[in-house]
Amino acid sequence: MGLLIGERAYGEEWPQEHPDRLKLYGGYQKLFGIDGKFRLDGSKTGLGSTFDWHDGLGGDDDDDMLRAGFEFRFNENHAIGFSWYDINLHGSRTVDDDLQIDDKIFTVGGGIKSKVDLTVYRFYYNWSFYHSDKTELFLSPGMYFGNFEAKFKGNLVFDPDDFNPVAGEDKVKEKIQAPLPTLGLGVEYKIFPRLKAILRTDFFYVNVDNIEGTLAEFYFGLEYRVFKHFAVGAAFDRMMVDIDYKNGKPKGWELDMSWNGGLFYGALYF
């Protein structure tokens, strides 16, 4: 009886009379290997400095956060889904080369503190074009929404509008929104009746008018069904984003970031 756990014997299939329609999941994600470059042009001073997150700002290499989402399956071949997570990073260092951020210039010898908040929303549609007892293949067009907010604060800042070349302590705050459509391909493979592997990759590239950008995500995970309506999972996630707005109306910017993630989650099935 101990192995039945109120359901079916270990290793047997779950009943298929009522297939899963809704999946709700949430868990802990550890980001590591965070890297990035930024550029924020000024409306008056023109092209800004391209600076490295680590070398230029002394930024964090990792972050701890929550990740959540859902997937609703209309029928055997069609489903929609959503996922969300929020990245909060901090940096602090002494400026060793002038940095122009927006219309401010953070000068050599001064200190600069930075904070970056990147919220990622993903909406997607899955079309399952192949099914077997063990394997499901699906095409997954979708949309990523990235809300990027950066704050920089320094104690030796040159302001072009000020007759005094050193304006003392000053700060820059910038918000950027970047919607990116993607096309993905994925596979779910049932290794054992209760254990499945999930592999998915998403990609996007655009070069239209003043915007050039790429996005690529690679996801590989394992999920184990503990009970009929509950599963646990672990996954590795790799994300790369590079967007350059060139024209400067009123000002241009560049965001180039990449990170790795280890995800541990629980999921409810209905």
8 found inside a domain: no
Residue-wise pLDDT for 124-183, tens only, equals 999 999 989 899 999 999 999 888 888 999 887 876 666 555 666 788 888 887 788 899
Tell me the C-alpha distance between 178 and 140, whole Å.
20
pLDDT at 160: 66
Tell which residue, 133, 124, 55, 134, has the closest CA to residue 95. 55
Give the total number of structural domains in the chain. Answer: 1
Answer whether the bond into residue 250 is a cis peptide, omega within 30°.
yes
**Number of residues in the chain:** 270
Instruction: Answer whether residue 164 is part of any domain.
Output: yes
Find the domain containing 124 and state its range: 22-269
Rounded Cα distance between 93 and 183, Å, is 39
- Domain-located, residue 35: yes
Query: Residue 180, Cβ neighbours under 10 Å: how many?
Result: 20
Dist CA 22 CA 268 (whole Å): 8
Determine the Cα–Cα distance for residues 71 and 90; give it in Å rounded to an integer: 32
DSSP string, 105-143: EEPTT-EEEEEEEEEEEEEEEEEEEEE-SSEEEEEEEEE
pTM listed for this prediction? 0.85
Across 51-60, 115-124, 167-176, 227-236, least confident range: 167-176
> What amino acid occupies position 218?
F
Residue 16 lies inside a defined structural domain of this protein: no
For residue 5, being part of any structural domain is answered with: no
Q: Note whether residue 141 is domain-resident.
A: yes
Q: Where are the beta strands (DSSP E) in the chain?
A: 22-40, 51-52, 63-73, 78-94, 99-101, 104-106, 111-131, 135-154, 157-158, 170-192, 195-208, 211-227, 230-245, 253-269
Cβ atoms of 66 and 85 within 8 Å: the answer is: yes
Q: How far is CA 49 from CA 41, 102, 195, in A?
A: 8, 9, 49
In a domain, 96, yes or no: yes
Contact, 261 vs 236, CB < 8 A? yes
Whether residue 230 is contained in a domain is answered as: yes
Q: How far is Cα 234 from Cα 37, in angstroms, rounded to an integer?
A: 29
CATH at 151:
2.40.128
Among 79, 60, 55, residue whose Cα is nearest residue 69 = 79
Residue 4 has pLDDT above 70, yes or no: no
**Weakest-pLDDT range from 128-137, 167-176, 193-202, 226-235:** 167-176
Cβ atoms within 10 Å of 112's Cβ, excluding its own: 25
Bridge partners (DSSP) listed for residue 256: 37, 242
Buried b / exposed e over 84-98, threshold 16 CB at 10 Å, is ebebebebeeebeee
CA distance 98 to 157: 10
In tens, the pLDDT along 102-141 reads 888 888 888 999 998 989 999 999 999 998 989 999 999 9
